[in-house]
A and B are shown apart, each in its own frame.
Chain A
């Protein structure tokens, strides 16, 4: 669809964006409370690449620095990158699927369901671990899945799903979940901070186990979303039209809804509720590269990853050594930027 210059241009732009993402990730590794020189950071990283590791010595670098880079900063950067990519891809897909500019991963109650699940686990003081995942994360995942199943069944008439009912039911359940979270918080004042940090999103408890669990969800999920991009373009112009063009709309809707729910549940249960990424990043890139999902989705994935790495770096650097919830950063820095973009695009239309 996008041919000629536009096609080439978007190719160049995406490479530029990938380079930017690598640069941002690297910069994030250098920044932090502990002062570690960038040469040391490189040596530590290279040392841990299999095969190459033996050539690079890390003698003379304190063990604490190695731990900070490998166990703390690197896992945080990777986790932020994965979650940003996932949430942004889900937002982009849902906006198309429901033909609704307000659609985002939290819309269907998935995030709040995960929040409630996590809060219940924290409330009960559960701290068992299964497959390296903490009880909080598992409980969050279960909460997310239960919520989406409830919302899905409310909005279903036979095999058909009404997007309007789906969104309204999701919003209603979101409010209910949030209310229960706040009630539970009042009853467990001693754990209020912990619940708060969770409901506003944070990568403080990152770790390789979380990354390893998140990767299969994202690789499989994002591949499916990319495969359906062309069909999604047609659906975004109207469901009846898509149907008359031979697309099995209800089937595609069910598949994409399931994939989006799983990606969101996986992301939110590892990092807490991080709003804004899924809503704004797809809009930003839609204004730049247009609505073709085959082009927009890769941009959203890389853009979302870069955005969340930046936000998380700010979250741990700004008030260092204290932590700011990353969800607050995404909103505070994202909103003005987005509003500026909206005003600019409004001007160009008028």
Chain B
């Protein structure tokens, strides 16, 4: 069975304010899907609905054809990992402790971690390139390092679906590229379903297979970067003037913002 995420006619409100309106989207294995849009367009809300952090309506979000509202939290956590926008940990855990927490949904009842869990944690630490930080306190590392640790925790969860909320916005350019490369490689090699909120249009153009463009809680359009990231659509969604070229290396669209409208 294909491990996919499907959103069918999802609406969501915070109190009286409707944030998502009749969203339909599907996310397939082996693909990196980007959610793009201006601030307040509902990207994070959509991601949190899929992750079931916010309670979605019935029959709106499906994981592998199962309605997510009918699944228990441990069941969901075995299918899907979430990398939140920001992480703030007050207690002095080590990096390894935090990544080990990714194994939580797999550790039965009140028992402790096994050697297999430790091996997976080691793999996750290496894959997210934070192995050298393993014994350090989580409070002593930089914001970018913390972001990579949180990504390692999501990897340690060993799920087929990974949701990321602006995973690279706090990272330097080297780590932005390296994390995006890791994510796309995992997605393509292991047929993982990746859904990620991104702010950087060019990063999205380079690494996403599918892009959904959101504005005011609606999906304006969805498809491969070449179809979605055209100057008229970007100008409409972001209210800016921009130029779109073709990246001579990757042949993907490259956006140059000119001014706000």
Contacts and interface: CB of A to CB of B under 8 A. Distances in A.
Interface of A: 1-3, 96, 99, 101, 227-228, 230-231, 233-234, 236-238, 240-241, 243-248, 286, 290-292, 294
Interface stretch (B1-9, B78-86, B205-213): B78-86
A246 B96 contact: no
Contact of B89 (A238, A246, A292): A238
A227 B76 CA distance: 23
Interface in B58-99: 72-78, 80-82, 84, 87-94, 96-98
Nearest to A345: B92
Contact of A234 (B80, B82, B101, B110): B101
B73 A246 contact: yes
Contact of B92 (A3, A228, A286): A286
A228 B110 CA distance: 7
16 contacts: A1-B94, A2-B97, A230-B104, A233-B93, A236-B89, A240-B84, A243-B73, A244-B53, A244-B77, A244-B81, A244-B82, A245-B77, A245-B101, A245-B104, A246-B75, A247-B104
Nearest to B154: A244
Q: Taking chain A's interface residues, is the majority helix, strand, or loop, or is none over half, making it mixed?
A: loop
B195 interface: no
A234 B113 contact: no
Contacts, number: 83
A236 B98 CA distance: 11
B84 A237 contact: no
Contacts of B113: 1
A203 to B, nearest CB: 33
A237 B91 contact: yes
Contacts of B110: 227-228, 230
A296 to B, nearest CB: 10
Given A1-B97, A1-B113, A246 B74 contact: yes
Given A234-B101, A246-B105, A291 B53 contact: no
Q: Name the residue in B73, B76, B81, B102 with the highest tally of chain A Cβ atoms < 10 Å from its Cβ.
A: B73
A44 B20 CA distance: 75
Contacts of B92: 286, 290-291
B100 interface: yes
Nearest to B107: A230
* Closest 8 A/B residue pairs (Cβ): A246-B77, A246-B105, A291-B91, A246-B74, A244-B82, A245-B104, A1-B97, A246-B73
A350 B12 CA distance: 46
B73 A248 contact: yes
Contacts of A3: 118
A292 B97 contact: yes
B53 A243 contact: yes
B88 A238 contact: yes
Nearest to B99: A1
A45 B225 CA distance: 82
Q: Name the residue in A236, A243, A244, A245 with the highest tally of chain B Cβ atoms < 10 Å from its Cβ.
A: A244
B154 to A, nearest CB: 9
B36 interface: no
B101 to A, nearest CB: 5
B232 to A, nearest CB: 37
B87 A291 contact: no
Nearest to B51: A244
A247 B91 contact: no
Contacts of B76: 246
A228 B109 CA distance: 9
Interface in B212-252: none
A78 B29 CA distance: 61
